[in-house]
A and B are shown apart, each in its own frame.
Chain A
C-alpha cells in the first residue's frame, strides 16, 4: 500500500472528526472522563472527610460548598464518576456479548433455533425494566454486580433483535454464501464475514444504550440500592442532597451536570460515527 493510500484510509477513518458536533462531543467526553478518572488525585479533601457545615454555599475553601453531612462537594464530584461509568460500561459490554451472540446466531441460522431464541427474548422483553431491576436489587441486597448483571439482562432482548435483523440482511450476501459453501464453521462465518459488516448498527445502537446503562446505574444508586454511602457517586449525591437543594443547589446540580454531559457527548459521537459508516456504504453504492 502506498503512502498516499494509507493516508487515505486514515483520513477516511478520522473524517468524522470534521463535524462540529463530534468535536464538541469529544472535548466534553474527554473532560468528563478526565474528571472521573484523574480527578480523584486532585481532590482537595478526602471524599468522606467532614470538614465543613452541612449545605454551606460555595466559598474560597469549598468551591462548590458542602453537602448534607458537611463533606466537600467539589472533592466528591471529582471522586464520584468512576462507579457510574465503569458499571455502566460493564453492563453494556455484558449485554452486547450475550445479546449480540444470540442475535447473530438467530439471524444466521434462521429456522428452529431462531424461533426458540427469539421467543425467549420476547419473554424477557415482557418484564418492565425498572421493576425487574428493583426485584433483583431487593433480592440481592446492595450487591452492585447483581445489579450490573440485571441491567445487562434488560438490554439483551433488544440488542438481540437489532443484531438479528442486521445479520439477516448480511447473511444473504455472496461472501457469506461462499463461506458457507466452503464449509466454514458457524462461529468462523459470524466472526469473519458477518460481524465486521454490522458495526454500523452496533455503534449507532451502542451509544444511546451506554447512556441508558449509565442512567440505570444512576437510578439504582439514587434509590440507594447500588453503591452505599459514604462512597462518592454522582447519582447518589443527587439523592443525598436533594433536601438541601434550596440552600446549596450545587450539591445537586454539579453531579447532575456531569451525568448529563457524559450522556450527551457519547450520543453526539455515536451518531456521527454511525452516519459516517452509513456514508461510506453510500459512497460505495454510488461508485457502482
Chain B
C-alpha cells in the first residue's frame, strides 16, 4: 500500500455534555482506494463522514483525535482556514441531492460559485465544461442554465458529485449517494463512482447497503454504536466476517442472484445514551460471555489487513447462508383475482395512465410480488385493491365476488378480507393513539367485537408479530421503526384478513430488522394461510419472499412468472435491465 492520503486517529465525537457518539475511531486510506463505511441507522456513520471534513452537526463536538489529509491536519483549525481546505483537500457528497443543491441557483452557477469561493476563476467556462464532462453531464448552454428541479434525480446526484470534484480533492466522502434513486440510476451512479477511482481520488463511501458497498469498495469498515467493529478487504468481510455483528448483517442482506433464507439479528441496536460498558453488541450477540460486558474489546488483527473488535472472533460462525427453502406449491384456488385493471391519475395537466390491462391472481397462502421502479404503477394497483383509488376499468374480486371500487362501498366482510401495511412506519401509526388502541380498533370496527374483547385480543396479535405484550400501552414515538412496522402488521392482522397487501413494508428499515420482518411475514403465511401481495422495488427482497413476480413497466406488466426463473433468466428487456442493475452481495468486488 502506498502512503495514506487520509489518516484518522483516535477520533472522538460527543454530544455536548452528553454521551460519546464516535469513540476512538482510526482509519487510513491510500490514493485511488475506496473504503466502504457500513452501518445501520444510529451507528454514527454520517457523523464520521462529516468529521472527516472537521464538521459536526450542531450539538455535537469533536473532542479529540486527528484527521490528516495529504499530511495536513484538519482538526483544531478555525472556520476560515477550514473553508479553504474543504473542497480542495477533502469534499463531501451529501445524501439527498434534491435538498443539497440550492434550488434558485442554475447548474452552471453552482460550479462557478465553488470556483469563485476557492479563487479558481481561471478560464472558468472551460473548467465548468470539463467538470461536468467528468460525470457525463451535458455541457451545452441550455443545460447550464437549468435549475436543479429541472434535472432528474440521477442528474442531480451527478451534479453533486461534480461539485465535489471541482477543486480536485484528494479525498471524496460520499454519504449514501444512491439512496433514494431507482436501481437503474443507482447502477449508473455507481459506475461513475467506480470510474473516479481510476483517477487517484480516495473515496469514503458511507452506506447502510452492504450489497452496494461491496460493489464499489476495496475495503469495508463496519460500524456499530459509534465504533468500528470490523475492518478488512471487501471479499473477506463479505465471505468470512469475524465479528458476530458483521456476520449477522451479511446473513440478513437479501440477494436476487442467490435467493437466500434471511436471518435477522434479534433485538434492536443500542442508542449512544444507553450503551453499557463492554462490547456494545453483547446484548444481541449469540457468542456473548461474561467477559464481553466488562471492557470494550480492542481491534484484534484477524487476518491480512483484517481487524475485528471481538474477543471471540475465532469462534464466530460464518454467516449461515442457506438457499431459500422453496415453498412453491401446487396451484390452489385464487383468493384475490384482478382482471384487466385500469387506473388513471387525473391532474390539472390531464390524465396519466398509472396501470393498464393488469391481470393476476393471488392464491391462498401464496406470495405474489409486484416489482417496478417508482412510477411503474405498483402502488396505484395496491391502492385500487384496498379501495383507496377507484379504478377506471376492469375488476377486482375476492373469493370470486367482485368488489366495489371504494372501500366505503364494500361490505364489512370484504373490507376485512383485505388489509394493507404501508411503507413508512413513521407515519402509518397515529402518534396520538396507543398501540393497544391502534391494534384493537380494526377488531371492533370490522369484526364487531366489543371494546373489552378487542383489547383482550391485542396481546394475541402482538405475540403473533413477536412483540411483548407490555408494548400495548406505549405510543408510536416510543417505538423503533421495526417495532412500529410490526404493530402496523398486527393492526392489519387484527381484522383476520385473507390477503395482506404489503406496500414496500421494509424499505424504510435497516437490513437486520428487514430480515426479521420478512421472516415474520413468511411465518404468518405458513401459520395463517395468509396470502400476500408484496410490492417492492428491491429484487433481493422479492427473491427472498415471493413465489411469483410481476414486473411492471410504466403501468404495464412486462413479465411475469416464478420468481426464480424471472430473476435468473429474465426475458423482457426491462427486466434484464433491472436485474443487471440491482447490486448483489453475492458478487463483491474482487
Contacts and interface: CB of A to CB of B under 8 A. Distances in A.
Interface residues of B, number: 34
Interface stretch (B301-309, B310-318, B391-399, B421-429): B421-429
A193 B432 CA distance: 8
B446 interface: yes
Contacts of A1: 473-474
B272 interface: no
B411 to A, nearest CB: 9
A182 B445 contact: yes
B495 interface: yes
B430 interface: yes
B428 A175 contact: yes
Contacts of B295: none
A64 to B, nearest CB: 47
B422 A177 contact: yes
Contacts of A175: 427-430, 433, 438
Nearest to A194: B430
Contact of A192 (B430, B431, B473): B430
A108 to B, nearest CB: 13
Contacts of A197: 430-432
Interface in B100-123: none
Given A188-B445, A193-B430, A178 B407 contact: no
B509 to A, nearest CB: 12
B431 A182 contact: no
Contacts, number: 71
Given A196-B433, A197-B431, A284-B431, A181 B420 contact: yes
A183 interface: yes
B227 interface: no
Contact of B415 (A182, A192, A196, A287): A182
Contact of A181 (B407, B426, B431, B473): B407
B469 to A, nearest CB: 12
Contacts of B83: none
A174 B487 CA distance: 13
A14 to B, nearest CB: 17
A13 interface: no
B477 A196 contact: no
Contacts of A196: 430, 432-433
B387 interface: yes
A210 to B, nearest CB: 23
B442 A182 contact: yes
A284 B477 CA distance: 6
B386 interface: yes
Which of B430, B488, B495: most chain A Cβ within 10 A?
B430
A182 B495 contact: yes
A122 interface: no
Interface of A: 1, 5, 173-175, 177-178, 180-185, 188, 192-193, 196-197, 284, 287-288
20 contacts: A1-B474, A174-B424, A175-B429, A175-B430, A177-B420, A177-B422, A180-B387, A181-B386, A181-B388, A181-B415, A182-B415, A183-B415, A184-B445, A193-B430, A197-B430, A197-B431, A197-B432, A284-B477, A287-B477, A288-B426
Interface of B: 386-388, 407-408, 410, 412, 415, 418-420, 422-424, 426-433, 438, 441-442, 445-446, 473-474, 477, 481, 488, 491, 495
